């Protein structure tokens, strides 16, 4: 982590701190619902996707308390409290996996399916730029260790795999009978 902070000017901390607000539960969840809806256009499929997304949030919280992986020390933390908004926060003293990265990865993959389907390559590139900045900011601000970021990515891939399997299974059984 020190090498990331060493190559990141502290003047960027303000931008990364603002950017971290995009990873809040409320903001990402709104966009997850939106992209699930425009991707599947069926209420049942959105519910299946949100169920797996929500289960991922529960797994994130349980995993943090199961692994008890301590967060980076406060002496390394460079987050600036730029906006103190009320929100849904489930606090934990532990950092594995990163919830910001879990939510952002889930959203990035869902939105990219839509962007690829509609051949909106600007949307694809923009999504991955936002994704990379989110990952980098979590480590640069010392909110998470790199292993926490990797854990968030893996959790999102697993929850999306279950989402796609259940939606495909639902569609297959619904239209067969």
pLDDT, one tens digit per residue, over 113-155 is 999 999 999 999 999 999 999 999 999 999 999 999 999 999 9
- Kindly state whether residue 158 falls inside one of the protein's structural domains: yes
- Kindly state whether residue 111 falls inside one of the protein's structural domains: yes
- Kindly state whether residue 130 falls inside one of the protein's structural domains: yes
CA distances from 92 to 17, 75, 137, 175 (A): 19, 18, 19, 44
pLDDT per position as a tens digit, 30-65: 999 999 999 888 888 899 899 999 999 999 999 998
- Which structural domain range is residue 107 located in? 20-78+95-176
> Are 134 and 19 a contacting pair, CB within 8 Å?
yes
Give the total number of structural domains in the chain.
1
> Are 137 and 61 a contacting pair, CB within 8 Å?
no
- Kindly state whether residue 149 falls inside one of the protein's structural domains: yes
Tokens, residue 127: 């999504």
């Amino acid at each position: 982590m020190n090498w990331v902070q060493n190559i990141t000017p502290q003047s960027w901390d303000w931008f990364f701190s603002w950017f971290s607000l995009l990873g809040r539960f409320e903001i990402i969840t709104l966009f997850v619902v939106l992209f699930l809806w425009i991707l599947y256009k069926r209420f049942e499929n959105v519910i299946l996707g949100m169920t797996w997304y929500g289960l991922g949030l529960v797994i994130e919280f349980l995993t943090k308390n199961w692994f008890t992986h301590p967060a980076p020390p406060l002496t390394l933390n460079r987050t600036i409290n730029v906006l103190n908004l009320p929100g849904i926060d489930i606090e934990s003293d532990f950092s594995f996996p990163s919830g910001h990265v879990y939510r952002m990865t889930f959203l990035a993959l869902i939105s990219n399916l839509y962007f690829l389907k509609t051949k909106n390559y600007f949307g694809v590139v923009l999504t991955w730029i936002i994704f990379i900045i989110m990952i980098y900011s979590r480590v640069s601000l010392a909110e998470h260790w790199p292993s926490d970021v990797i854990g968030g990515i893996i959790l999102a891939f697993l929850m999306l795999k279950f989402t796609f399997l259940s939606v495909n299974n639902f569609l297959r059984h619904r239209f067969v009978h």
